[in-house]
Amino acid sequence: MELAQLTQDLETLAAETATALAGAPDVASLDALEVDVLGKKGRLTGVLRGIGALPVDDRPKVGAVANRVRAGIEAEIAERRAVLGSAELDARLAAETIDVTMPGRPFRHGSLHPSIESMFEIARIFGQFGFVVHESPEIEDDLTNFQDLNIPPDHPARDLWDTLYVDIPGHLLRTHTSPGQLHVMRTMQPPIRALLPGRCFRYEAIDASHGSEFFQVEGIMVDEGTTMGDLRGLLDEFAHAMFGAGKRTRFRPGYYPFTEPSVAFDVECLVCGGPGCPACGRSGWMTILGAGMIHPVVLRRGGLDPERYQGFAFGMGPERISMLRHRITDLRLFLENDVRFLGQFR
């Protein structure tokens, strides 16, 4: 092996590597090229293996050429790597762009059921007058749902509250929230101001205004010297908060066995405002609840002395309130769970 030949081989390697580097398309092929040329078993090492066959004096000369070639290749690779690396980064940045101005994906919000929304609103308004929400059971006995509310077994008013019976003798699904009045009177001392929202059940022929399952909100106030005037004033405030300030209201004689006297509470028709239209049966009024002064029999069954305490009670259907407020014409919509209906009450 001659010095000239080896030197020539080294220059050839340098030239070929430079050509290959110029054509390397990406960082990965650059890495492969580096191993191929400068690696432990690479082409440079291969060429230098010939040094051993040279005269001792010539060896440093080849070594010097080899070092220059190696340094040159290393510098070229580094330079090329920098160029290719930033080009790849640019390409990735362009490909993975995030447009932060794009609108987000909308969440699907749930919404309160209109019956519940209505009950919350009723509770909010009466809450401002000191009424506190209480729970009462959905399964009652005949005594509490009827007899203690002054509806004896043979009373004709029972026809209004025909119900569904459960497998425990004498027990039934409550037909109204009024039995809750008795639970409240038995557990609290006057002054009592309680609100009893809850589900009720009836054996009904279902139509646009009757359901076998619906909600009611009962209210009860008992104290010394509570009058019908207090009831009237409170219900007026409620009607104005719920349906609009300035709406006219009226008391109309009514009948309930558990109140004496009993009234129906009407608000001026929310559609026509008075003259009469199909929505109010041409009367100009819409009935929103039943109420009255608690019957002495009921106070006594609740454990209170009617000589000392008086009170009033009222009961309303939150679905009916909701129907009046939103002009809904069919009660059945409330139980069909059709999101096209339910989603309108955000």
Q: Using CB under 6 A, list all residues that contact ligand DAH.
A: 176, 178, 218, 256, 259, 290-292, 313-315
Q: How far is the CB of 263 from ligand DAH (least distance, A)?
A: 8
Q: Is residue 196 within 8 Å of residue 299, measured between CB atoms?
A: no
For the purposes of burial, counting CB atoms within 10 Å of the CB of 117, is it exposed (0-12), middle (13-18) or buried (19 or more)? middle
Structure tokens belonging to residue 203 = 């054996």
Q: How far is the CB of 182 from ligand DAH (least distance, A)?
A: 11
Shorter beta-carbon distance to ligand DAH: residue 136 or 259: 259
Q: How far is the CB of 299 from ligand DAH (least distance, A)?
A: 13
Q: How far is the CB of 338 from ligand DAH (least distance, A)?
A: 27
Question: Which single residue brings its beta carbon nearest to ligand DAH?
Answer: 315
Concatenating the DSSP letter of every residue in 246-309 gives: T--EEEEEE--TTEEEEEEEEEE-TTTSSS--GGGTTSSEEEEEEEEEEPHHHHHHTT--TTT-
Shorter beta-carbon distance to ligand DAH: residue 13 or 149: 149
Shorter beta-carbon distance to ligand DAH: residue 17 or 177: 177
Q: How far is the CB of 193 from ligand DAH (least distance, A)?
A: 14
Q: How far is the CB of 169 from ligand DAH (least distance, A)?
A: 24
**Count of residues in the chain:** 346
Rounded to 5 degrees, φ, ψ at 141 are -100, 170
Shorter beta-carbon distance to ligand DAH: residue 7 or 118: 118
Q: Where are the beta strands (DSSP E) in the chain?
A: 132-133, 139-141, 171-173, 192-201, 213-223, 249-254, 259-268, 285-294, 310-316
Shorter beta-carbon distance to ligand DAH: residue 80 or 176: 176
Q: Is residue 270 within 8 Å of residue 243, measured between CB atoms?
A: yes
Shorter beta-carbon distance to ligand DAH: residue 63 or 233: 233
Cα(38)–Cα(147) distance, integer angstroms: 104
Q: Is residue 182 within 8 Å of residue 146, measured between CB atoms?
A: no
